Structure 1
C-alpha cells in the first residue's frame, strides 16, 4: 500500500496508519493515534470515521479544545446531538445515557480528537460506556507526541494500541503540494520541502505558501518549481503551529538552540537546561543524534529553526551572544550568520536507524553551522584552509548562501599553507570555472585573489591538456592514457587516481579498478576524493558481480558518512546502496535509501553528474510504484541536470526514459528499446565499453542475430559479470524455446521492459511449439509470482491497439507478409512479429488468416 491515495478529490495521507487503526477497531481494540502537531491526526480521524460508517459501524465523534479542560462535560455540551436539551437536567448520568444511546446495540466506535485536552467528566463518561460494552465498542483517541496522555485520561489510554502518524515522504509531499497549489510539483521542490518540513504536512504547506508569496516558488513549464533561494523565506505560520502547545521556557530554549545551530548534547544542556531539553525532545522539537564522536542536538524540523532565526531582533541576537559568553565563555561557538540549506530525508532500515526528522535536522544544521562558523573564520583570516572548507560546502554540498567569487577573490596565500590544501583549492577553482562556462585550465592556472599566487608550481601543460580533455563534454578516456609517465604534482595525484579508476571502470575492467583502489593510501585532507573513490569501489564490485559485497561496502560507508555528518559522503554512499539494492531486486529498500539524497537537494555544481543516477533510479522506482507524475517530473530534472563533465557509466538517461515510459503505460504498450541501443552505439564509438554494454543489455528489444553477436562480442571484451544474466536473457529471446526464455526471465526476479519483451516471445514460441497459450500459473511455476502477474497486462482484450499495432495488423489483413511489412515500415522482421502477435491477442484471433474476416474499423481501433 502506498503512502497516498486519491479520495474524492482530496489527498489522503498516512494510508498505512489509517489501515492499522481500522484493523484494530475491527478487532475490538482501542487505538491511540500519536503524531506531531500538524501531522494530520484530525483529518485521519475523520477519514477513519467515514470508513467505519461504510462498514455499518456506529460512530460517535467527540472533540476536546484548548481552555475547555476545566469545564465538566465540555465535549458533550458542544456536541450537535449529545448536548443537553434546553431546560433538561444535565450531569454524568444523563451524558452517559446519551452516549450509550448513540452507540446503539451493534458494533460502534467512539472517536476522541485531542484526548489530552478532554475534561475529566467527559473522559469518565466515555470510559464508562466503553467498559460496559467492551465487546462491541472501541475507542479511538488522538494526541500530539510528547503529551502526557496517561495523566490526562488514564482510563481511556490504558489498554489502547498505539499507532504512530509518521512523517511524509517525497511522494506524499508531492501529492499534498500538488493539491494545495492546484498543479503538479517539480520533484526537487517536493523533496526539499519534505526534508525541511520534517515530513509535517502543515509545515510543508506553510513553507511553500510563504515561498510562493516571496516569489521563490513559481510555475515553470507547467509545474511548480523552486525559482529562488528558500533559505531566507520567513514562514511564520510554521512557528505558530509548532510552538502553540509549548511553555514559554521551551520556546525560549528553542530560540537559543536555533541561534546556535548544531551543538553537542552537553552544551545544549548547559544552554537550556536538562529538563527543558528533555521536554523539547519528547515534543519532537529537537533532534538528537547519538552517533559520531559525541551526541549532537538541533531544532526539528529545519524549517522551524529557520523561522526562529529569521525573526530574531538585533536585541535578541545581542542577548543570545551574552548568554553564550556567560555560559560557555567569550568567543565560544559563534552564532550562525547564514541560512538553512536544502533538507535531508529519511532513509530506510537498510541505511540507518535514525528516525526521519532527526536525519533531516542533524545533517542540515551540520552544514549550516559549519558554513556559519567557517565564514566567520575566513573573514578573520582569509587564509587557504578556511577558504577551502567554505568552497567544499558550496561546490560539493551545495550550500548556496556561500559566494564563491567572494572567497576566490579574497583569499591570500600563507607560508603555512598545506600543499594538499593548495591542490584541492586549485582543483575546485578549476572545476568551478568549468561548471560556469569557463575552462578547467583557466581556473587552475589563474588566481583572481589579491596576490595571484595561489597556483600549483610545476603544473605541466601535458597534465593540463589531459585534464581538459577529460573535462570536455566529449565522451573520451584518452586523457587518462596521456597522463601515464607525466609529472603530476603530488596534491593532484589522488584526483588523477579517481580518473584512472573511472577509466578502468569504463573500459569494462572492474578488477583493474579494484587493484588501483587497493593501492591507494588515502589522504587525511582529501575527504571529497575519498568519497568518490569509495563510490567507485562499490561500482567496481557491482560490475564484477559481487553484489552482496558491494551492498555491504556501501552500508559501511553510509554509516561512516552519517557519523562524520558528511553530506557528500551520504549522497554517494546512499546512491551506491540504492543501486545495489535495485540490482538485488529489493526495490522498496532502494526507494527508501534514495529518499535520503533526494531530500538533501542536489549535489554541488562541480559534482552534478552524480545526481544523474540518483534521479534515474528515483524516477524508475516511482514509475514502478504507479507514481507516474512524480516519475515524469524526476525524469525531466534528470534531462536538465548540468554536465560539467561526463559521468562514469553514462547510461542513466536512456535507461530511465525507457523504464518510465513503459511503466507509465501500465505495461500495456510495447517498450521502445531503440533509443537505448542507439545510446550504446554512441558510447561504443568512443571506447566507453561499460556504458555501451549496460545500454545494450538493458535495451528491451528482440535482437537480430547481428545485434546479438555484437552484444556478446562486447561482453567478451569486458569483465562485466553483472550483465551476464541480461545477455543470457537476450540470447534465449533470440534463440531459445519458450521454456528456456521463461527460465531466463526467472533470473530477473522482477518485471520490467525487457521481461515484457521476453514474455511476448515466450507466448509466441509456446504457440509455435504447439503448447498453446501460456497461463499465469505456468509462468509463475517457472519465473515467480511478480513476473506471472505481469503476464496478462499486455494482452488484455480491453486494451486498444497501439498505433503501430493497428498499422501492422491492417497491412497483415491486406495479405502482406511479415517481411514485406518490415520493408515497408523500415522495421526488423522480429519487431513486426512482436507487434502483430500482440495485436492478434487483443483482437482475439489466433491465426493471421482470420484478420481478413474482421471489419477494417475493428482492426484500426482494436
Structure 2
C-alpha cells in the first residue's frame, strides 16, 4: 500500500522541491499543515539539506523571527534579522519553511522575502486561507512573484483515522467506531483527537476483546472542543453565519445568500467551513463542514433562537430538492493519489454534506411524527432512522407505536417488517461478541445487523408478503437440483401484496440466480423486473445486483461503467444508502479487475459515511470483506483484523440477500498471519457448507480464491461446480486450479492471463513456480481492462476537449484554470466528464489519447 495520512502530503511536496519549485501547503485548520512542514524539515536534515522553520508568532511586528529559538537578535530590527536568517541559510542547498504564513505579521514576511532573494533558498509555506485573499499584503507579496506549486493536505481516510485512533487510545478501534469518527470529523486529524478525548471523557467508549468500541451514542458526546478547533480566527459574524446554517441544515446556495451575509459566506467557504455540492437541475446546496462542527453549533443554540431560525429558513423557501442527475465524480475519486483511501478533499466534504442532509431529513420526519403520530408518519421516520445505528430512537418508536385495526394493512405490514429487522439488528448490538463464529464460515455468514434477510417470521401483519419468505431458498434448491436457470429467470414473480414490498420478488430472484451461479440468467431476470414504483432501497439493490451480474458474467468493463454511473448518481442525490451500496459493489468490480488501490478507495468511500443501521448492510458487509482481503494481502494486519471483527458481528439465524463471503476475509487474514493450514480449512469448510445450501457461486469462489492445498479434492470440487454453474469470471481461475493439480503447463499458461494476481495471489505464485518465472519478473495478471476501445459513448464538448488536451500536455488543474480563465472546480468538472466520456480512469491515460 502507498503512504497514508500526513505522508501523502509530504510525498507530494517532495516531488516539487528537487525541481527547484517552491511549495505552498494548503489545508484546513487541524489538518496537519504544521506536521507536514516538520516532516519536510526532518527529511531535509536526513539528506544533509539546511532547513529553517519559522512559525507565526502573533500580531507583534517581527514576532515570527524574534521568537525563533536560533535567533540571537532581540530587538525589532529588520536588517539584523535579515542578516541572521541569511547566515542560517548560507548553504548552497537550503530550504526555508514558513508555517501559517497567512497569520504571520507582514514585517516578518518582508524579511523572509528579502532573505529568499539573497540566498536563493527554496520556500515551503503553509496557510489555511487563500493567500490571494489574505487581509495583509505580506503573504501576497511573498508568494505572487515566486509562483509556488500548491499542495493540498488531504483529509484522513479510513486507514489513517484507524492508525490515529490507535495512537490516541492506546489500542485499535473497531470498524464501527472508526467509521463513525471519520464521518463526524471529515477526516480532520485534530478533530479526530478531540472527539476521541471527548468520547473517553464522556464514557462513550469501552474495550471489548482488545478493541475500543462505542458504548453509547458517539453523537451525544460534547463537541465544544471540536468547535474551538475549527472556529479559531473567525470573527463573530462568521460564527453567527455558521450557527444559522448549522440549524437550517443543507440549504440551496441562493437561500443561504439571503439568510446570511454573502461576504461571511464567501469567507467561510474559503476556510472550508461551508461546503457545497452541485445537484444538477437543482443548483448548489451548502452545509457546514465537518458534521461534528454543525452539531456543536446546534447544541449551543437556545430553543428560542432555533425557532427563529426555522421561521427564517421557511420564509426563504429553504427546502432542499433531491436530484437523480448523473455526474461523474468517481473518475476523480478513484484516480486520487491517496493509496490509503483518502478521497480528494471535496469528496470528504460531500460525505459531510450527506451526513448533514440525512440528519436534517431524520429530524424533519421525527417532527412530523411527533406532530401527527400516525402509523404512516412513524413508518416515514423509521425509513430514515434505520439507515444508521440509532438503537434508542428506534426503540422509542417501536415502544410508542401500536398499530390498530383501523390502520392501513400496507402500513401495518411495513411497520411489522421494520420491527422484525430492528429486532434482529438490536440483538446483535446487545451481544455482538456472542454472535462471532470464529471464522468458520457457517452457511448463514452474514446479514449484518438484521440485514436484508429473505425470511421474515410469521406475523399477522406480514401476511401480505408471507410468500416472499421462501422464494429465494426455494429457487436455490431448484437450481441446485438442476432446474434450468432460464426457467427460473422467466418465472412470474409473486404479487407482494403490500406497497412497501414492490420489487422485492425481483430482488430475491436475481439474488438466487447469482448465488446459484447463473449471472446471465440473473441479468435476464433484472431486465424483466418492473421496479418503477418500488421504494429507494429496492431500486438500489436491483441496480447493485445488475453490477454483480455483469461482474460474474465476465463483463468487467460494463460492470465498472455501470457501478461508476450508479455511484455518481448516488452522490448527486446525496443519498447515504445508495453511496454505501454502490461504493461497496464498485469495490468488488475494481478488485477483480486488478485495480486494488482504487478498490480500497471505493471501500473507504462507504466507510467514510459511518456504519449502517438495520437497513443497508448486505453490500456494505461485502465491501468490508473486500477491504479486509486487500489489507491482509498488503500486510496491514491490524486494520485487516478490525475489518474482520466487524464482519463477525453477525447473527447466525437469518439469511442475507447475498452472502458477505467473510470466510474469504478470515482465510486471507489467517494466511497473512502465517497460518496457511488454518486458511485452507476455513475456505474448504465454507465451500462445503455453501454447496450444501445450493450457494454454488460462493462455493466455487471459496474453492478457487480461498487458497489451500492444490489437491485432488479441490480439483474435483471445482470441476463439479463448473459443470453445475456458468460463471465466466471464475472460469480462468477454475482452469488454473485444475491445471495446477494436473501439472498441465499448457493449461496453466492459457489460464493465467485471464486471472488477477491481486485476487488470487496463492494461485499466481503456484503458477509462477510451475512455469519457471524468474524472481523479479512481473507476476502474470489479468489482461488490462480496455476502456471503450477508443469509441466514445458521447462526444466531448469544446471546453472538455480544451481541458483534456492541456491535461495531456502535463498542465495541472490550476494551470489549466489560469490559462482558460476558469475556476479550478470548473476545470475538475470538465476533466472528470471528459475522462468518463473517453472511458479513462485517470488523466495519466490521456497520453495514449489521440485527441
The one of 46, 57, 67 aligned to 2:59 = 67
Displacement of 1:657: 1.4
Provide the secondary structure at the position in 1 that maps to 2:656.
coil
Aligned to 1:255: 243
The one of 403, 417, 422 aligned to 1:427 = 417
Shift in CA distance, 469/710, structure 1 to aligned 2, threshold 3 Å: closer
Matched, 1:759 2:769: no
- Deviations 1:795-843 (Å, cap 9, x if unpaired)? xxxxxxxxxxxxxxxxxxxxxxxxxxxxxxxxxxxxxxxxxxxxxxxxx
Aligned length: 731
Provide the secondary structure at the position in 2 that maps to 1:38.
coil
Aligned to 2:67: 78
Aligned to 1:631: 640
The one of 64, 87, 94 aligned to 1:101 = 87
Matched, 1:216 2:200: no
Provide the secondary structure at the position in 2 that maps to 1:295.
strand
- Deviations 1:71-121 (Å, cap 9, x if unpaired)? 2x2222222332426xxx862222221111111232111111111222222
- Deviations 1:422-446 (Å, cap 9, x if unpaired)? 6544433343345456999987735
Matched, 1:569 2:578: yes
- Deviations 1:126-156 (Å, cap 9, x if unpaired)? 111211232xx11111111445358332232
Whole-angstrom distance in 2 between the partners of 1:710 and 1:727: 10
Give the greater-gyration-radius structure (CA).
1
Displacement of 1:231: 1.1
The one of 262, 279, 302 aligned to 1:274 = 262
Alignment of 1:381-460 (within 5 A): 381-400=372-391, 402-407=393-398, 409-410=400-401, 423-435=413-425, 445-446=459-460, 455=461, 459=464
**Alignment check: 8 A CA contact 2:737 2:763 kept:** no
Shift in CA distance, 90/323, structure 1 to aligned 2, threshold 3 Å: closer
Displacement of 1:738: 4.9
Displacement of 1:171: 0.9
Deviates more, 1:489-498 or 1:295-304: 489-498
- With normalisation by structure 2, the TM-score equals 0.79
**Alignment check: 8 A CA contact 2:98 2:124 kept:** yes
Whole-angstrom distance in 2 between the partners of 1:55 and 1:349: 31
Aligned to 2:96: 110
Displacement of 1:670: 7.6
Whole-angstrom distance in 1 between the partners of 2:565 and 2:512: 25
Shift in CA distance, 643/251, structure 1 to aligned 2, threshold 3 Å: farther
Matched, 1:733 2:740: yes
- Deviations 1:489-509 (Å, cap 9, x if unpaired)? 253352222222222222222
The one of 334, 357, 367 aligned to 2:348 = 357
Aligned to 1:297: 286
Aligned to 1:520: 529
Whole-angstrom distance in 1 between the partners of 2:721 and 2:212: 44
Shift in CA distance, 422/559, structure 1 to aligned 2, threshold 3 Å: farther
**Alignment check: 8 A CA contact 1:612 1:641 kept:** no
Shift in CA distance, 181/323, structure 1 to aligned 2, threshold 3 Å: closer
Provide the secondary structure at the position in 2 that maps to 1:163.
strand
Whole-angstrom distance in 1 between the partners of 2:218 and 2:229: 20
Whole-angstrom distance in 1 between the partners of 2:117 and 2:263: 37
Provide the secondary structure at the position in 1 that maps to 2:31.
coil
- With normalisation by structure 1, the TM-score equals 0.78
**Alignment check: 8 A CA contact 2:154 2:344 kept:** no
Shift in CA distance, 412/378, structure 1 to aligned 2, threshold 3 Å: farther
Shift in CA distance, 434/735, structure 1 to aligned 2, threshold 3 Å: same
Aligned to 1:827: none
Structure 2 portions without partners, runs of 5+: 321-331, 428-449, 785-851
Aligned to 1:194: 182
Whole-angstrom distance in 2 between the partners of 1:644 and 1:277: 52
Whole-angstrom distance in 1 between the partners of 2:627 and 2:733: 22
Aligned to 1:819: none
Aligned to 1:602: 611
Whole-angstrom distance in 2 between the partners of 1:444 and 1:305: 43
Displacement of 1:311: 2.5
Whole-angstrom distance in 2 between the partners of 1:267 and 1:332: 6
The one of 8, 21, 24 aligned to 1:32 = 24
Whole-angstrom distance in 2 between the partners of 1:3 and 1:130: 31
**Alignment check: 8 A CA contact 1:384 1:412 kept:** yes
Q: CA RMSD in A?
A: 3.6
Shift in CA distance, 524/564, structure 1 to aligned 2, threshold 3 Å: farther
Displacement of 1:471: 14
- Deviations 1:690-727 (Å, cap 9, x if unpaired)? 22111112132343335423311211221111110110
Shift in CA distance, 460/156, structure 1 to aligned 2, threshold 3 Å: closer
Structure 1 portions without partners, runs of 5+: 5-12, 335-345, 447-454, 767-772, 787-862
Aligned to 2:139: 153
Whole-angstrom distance in 1 between the partners of 2:210 and 2:381: 36
Aligned to 1:319: 305
Whole-angstrom distance in 2 between the partners of 1:392 and 1:642: 22
- Deviations 1:213-242 (Å, cap 9, x if unpaired)? 111112221122222111111121111111
Whole-angstrom distance in 2 between the partners of 1:476 and 1:227: 44
The one of 489, 492, 513 aligned to 2:497 = 489
Displacement of 1:612: 2.5
Aligned to 2:48: 56
Shift in CA distance, 295/574, structure 1 to aligned 2, threshold 3 Å: same
